[in-house]
Amino acid sequence: MIPVTKTFLPPQEEYQELLRGVWNTQLLTNRGALLLQLESELKSYLGADHFVVMNNGTVPIQIAIHLLADGGDVITTPFSYVATTTAILWQKCNPVFVDVEPDYLTIDPDLIEAAITPATRAILATHVFGNACDVERIGQIARKHGIYVIYDAAHCFGVKYRGQSIFNYGDISTCSFHATKIFHTAEGGAAFCRDQEMYDRIYFSHNFGHLTPTTFKAVGINGKISELQAAMGLAVLKYMDTILDERKKLVGTYHDLLRHASVKFIQLREGLEWNYSYYPLLFADESALLSVMSSLETMGIYPRRYFYPSLNQLPYLTASTHTPVSESAASRILCLPLFVGLKEDDQMLIASTINSLCPQ
């Protein structure tokens, strides 16, 4: 079987060596030595100064909305993973969908301003497949109207835009360290921000509001990550160059093998240093996509439909919004298998199937 992704696992002995200290101290959580080491190494690797590592990638979004949206409207994208929308609903805010740009598949700045009302508190946009939103224009709009910007950057570990970490844009930016991501802590994530004041608000929010063990600064929840997860992150981080080099090679092979097929790869924004996080293809229509999926699955190859359905079509939403670009893309986009260890022969089999069913 060839899945859409496989978790990168470091040598088991290296992970176990990191755990020796945990067994010695018997401190498994509450921001122990391994987590502090991980945050220090991530700070250097990512070029980001203010962030808190957490227990998954959704809690940072929930905290960001709690801090910045305050029960109001949140302008957001329909083309993302479901957590982007459900985090808004979970925090008792109202998602307001605007469509995406057809080439980049990120939220369309031309449509944001018209959707702003007195109830608008924030924009929650997603850097899709690690592809940056138009952060300059979104920032200008937000400043003009006095609203906040939150970026769901779940796919963006290591991504840079115009020479700096993508996490440095927006008021709060979040990332996922889930096992399916290029960097992972088995389960985890982080919230990034631009200054110490916002960092303090995020920090207290993820730690029950503790100032000391017996005093409290603010309302908070439990977003802490364990030492076991931090150890996995440390063990994986040392292999990031290998991971990125391998994924870059695989992407190049796909590009070469599929150059004559009637499929389209997303357009990456100028100034982006990408991380090869996914290999999404847009097919001519949903019928072509389903035909390819069916043929591949009969051979034990399992691509995945990221992101489907378009989130404005979720069944539990109370308001109906039409976003034709997102709806079309969601029905036609398919991510091919991409992971360290994927064999070129398997890529050739996948590509030959697509080429035969979708000739140019």
User: Which pLDDT tens digit goes with each residue over 60-81?
Assistant: 999 999 999 989 999 999 999 9
What is the tens place of the pLDDT at every residue in 173-186? 999 999 999 999 99
Cα separation, 349 vs 61, whole angstroms: 39
Let me know if 165 is exposed, middle or buried by CB neighbors in 10 A (0-12, 13-18, 19+): buried
Each domain of the chain, given as residue ranges in start order, spans 12-237, 240-357
Question: Which of 188, 93, 209 is CA-nearest to residue 148?
Answer: 93
Scored b (16 or more CB within 10 A) or e, 322-349 reads ebebbbbbbbbbbbbbbbbebeeeebee
The contacts of residue 229 (CB under 8 Å, 6+ apart) are 55, 185, 186, 187, 188
Q: CA angle, 276 as apex, 10 and 17 as ends, to 5°?
A: 15
Contact between 178 and 189 (Cβ < 8 Å) = yes
Averaged pLDDT for residues 263-270? 96
Q: Please say if the pLDDT value at position 320 is more than 90.
A: no
Averaged pLDDT for residues 33-53? 97
360 band by pLDDT with thresholds 50, 70 and 90: confident
Q: What is the pTM of this model?
A: 0.97
What is the tens place of the pLDDT at every residue in 2-31? 999 999 999 999 999 999 999 999 999 999
The contacts of residue 155 (CB under 8 Å, 6+ apart) are 127, 128, 129, 130, 176, 181, 275, 277, 278
Cα separation, 338 vs 129, whole angstroms: 13
Let me know if 27 is exposed, middle or buried by CB neighbors in 10 A (0-12, 13-18, 19+): middle
Give the pLDDT confidence score for residue 220 in this predicted structure: 94
Instruction: Quote the percentage of the chain above a pLDDT of 70.
Output: 100
Question: Which of 270, 276, 289, 274 is CA-nearest to residue 328?
Answer: 289
Give the pLDDT confidence score for residue 120 in this predicted structure: 98
What six digits make up the tokens of 102?
Answer: 């057809």
Count of other CB atoms within 10 angstroms of residue 30: 12
231 band by pLDDT with thresholds 50, 70 and 90: very high
Q: What are phi and psi of 162, to 5 degrees?
A: 50, 45
Architecture of domain 12-237: 3-Layer(aba) Sandwich (3.40)
Instruction: Give domain 240-357's CATH superfamily.
Output: Aspartate Aminotransferase, domain 1 (3.90.1150.10)
Question: Which of 174, 167, 154 is CA-nearest to residue 68?
Answer: 174
For residue 8, the one-letter residue type is: F
What is the tens place of the pLDDT at every residue in 278-300? 999 999 999 999 999 999 999 99
